[in-house]
């Protein structure tokens, strides 16, 4: 098994005919993802990449049976796109768009609280279940099938982790890039929970960043649940100065709890396997899993 996406996912692309949407839709189709069409308001009824274009997400759901949407809409229109997908009853919405205003996301989060949809992102690389479905912008070949779940705030660090896991002779059930913005749809804790409940996932890699308390929340939840599966954790930004935004809108040290050191200490106390160097993620997973099976 896997979480969130698999070979049965019926994916549509919002912002299908734009430059980004087109490029990544092609890549996803080439990977084998079941892309059933896309949405570009005003272009409904025509074809793009040999797939139907719909005017609305509701049309795409009703006519193509879409249950997953990936969003490449520019930041000024992205909040609207997410809410349209949720209103149409799309089960999983993956928002790739970077740079959505915070107040737009306050509205989106509130809107989603009344809907059944799950949002991943925004400002994230997406979700991949190796050999089944890639709903994102990650390089598919890096991810090998296996038993490790990955949840990460950072895109390229997700690829790095997946690559190290593969080089350690292991693979990934699903990798979830949750995004680096101050407001995101699915939290670290929620992603970890999905993996805890997935019978195929034997270990979890949890990659965080400075800023916010998502990793601390997840760590406490893992401990409260009795550390059912080993979790290998890394927090980027041990050398980041306070008060400076490090690329991601959410990656800024505000209070004492926001620092990498504080987060790593909490994770350690909660029984996670914390690595200090990003170069040690793969070998630590291998070591921990060997310990479990031995």
Task: Characterize the bridge pairing of strands 92-95 and 118-120.
Answer: parallel
171 interacts with other proteins by CB under 8 A: no
Question: Which residues within the stretch 9-68 sit at the binding site for other proteins (CB under 8 A)?
Answer: none
In the complex with other proteins, the residue whose CB is nearer, 248 or 273, is: 248
Give the x-and-dash track for 251-270 against other proteins (CB under 8 A): x---x----x----------
In the complex with other proteins, the residue whose CB is nearer, 130 or 180, is: 180
Of the candidates 132, 160, 202, 215, which one interacts with other proteins according to CB under 8 A? 160
Q: Would you list the DSSP string of 26-37?
A: HHHHHHT--EEE
What residues have CB less than 8 Å from 275, skipping those under 6 apart? 232, 233, 234, 281, 284
- Is 248 designated active site? yes
Give the Cα-Cα-Cα angle 263, 265, 266 (nearest 5 degrees).
Answer: 65
| Among 179, 178, 202, 181, residue whose Cα is nearest residue 191 | 178
228 interacts with other proteins by CB under 8 A: no
CA dist 67 and 79 (Å) reads: 19
| Catalytic-labelled residue, pool 24, 48, 248, 273 | 248
Q: List, by residue number, the catalytic residues.
A: 248
Q: Which residues bind other proteins (CB under 8 A)?
A: 75-76, 99-107, 109-110, 137-139, 141-142, 152-157, 159-160, 163-164, 167, 180, 182-183, 207, 209-213, 234, 236-241, 243-251, 255, 260, 276-279
């Amino acid at each position: 098994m896997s979480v969130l996406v698999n070979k049965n996912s019926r994916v549509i692309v919002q912002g299908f005919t734009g430059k980004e949407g087109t490029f990544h839709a092609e890549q996803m189709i080439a990977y084998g993802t079941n892309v059933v069409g896309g949405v570009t308001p005003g272009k409904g009824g025509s074809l793009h990449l040999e797939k139907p274009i719909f005017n609305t997400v509701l049309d795409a759901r009703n006519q193509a049976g879409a249950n997953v949407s990936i969003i490449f809409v520019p930041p000024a229109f992205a909040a609207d796109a997410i809410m349209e997908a949720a209103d149409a009853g799309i089960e999983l919405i993956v928002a790739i768009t970077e740079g959505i205003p915070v107040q737009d996301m306050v509205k989106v989060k509130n809107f989603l609280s009344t809907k059944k949809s799950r949002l991943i992102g925004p400002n994230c690389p997406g979700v991949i279940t190796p050999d089944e479905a890639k709903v994102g912008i990650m390089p598919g070949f890096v991810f090998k099938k296996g038993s490790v779940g990955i949840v990460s705030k950072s895109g390229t660090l997700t690829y790095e982790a997946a690559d190290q896991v593969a080089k350690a002779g292991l693979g990934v059930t699903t990798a979830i890039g949750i995004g680096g913005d101050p407001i995101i749809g699915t939290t670290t804790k929620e992603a970890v929970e999905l993996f805890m409940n997935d019978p195929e996932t034997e270990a979890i890699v949890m990659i965080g960043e400075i800023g916010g308390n998502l990793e601390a929340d997840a760590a406490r939840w893992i401990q409260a649940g009795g550390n059912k599966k080993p979790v290998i954790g890394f927090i980027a930004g041990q050398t980041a100065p306070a008060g400076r935004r490090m690329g991601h809108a959410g990656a800024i040290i505000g209070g004492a709890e926001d620092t990498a050191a504080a987060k790593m200490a909490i994770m350690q106390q909660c029984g996670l396997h914390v690595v200090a160097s990003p170069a040690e993620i793969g070998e630590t997973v291998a070591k921990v899993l060997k310990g479990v099976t031995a």
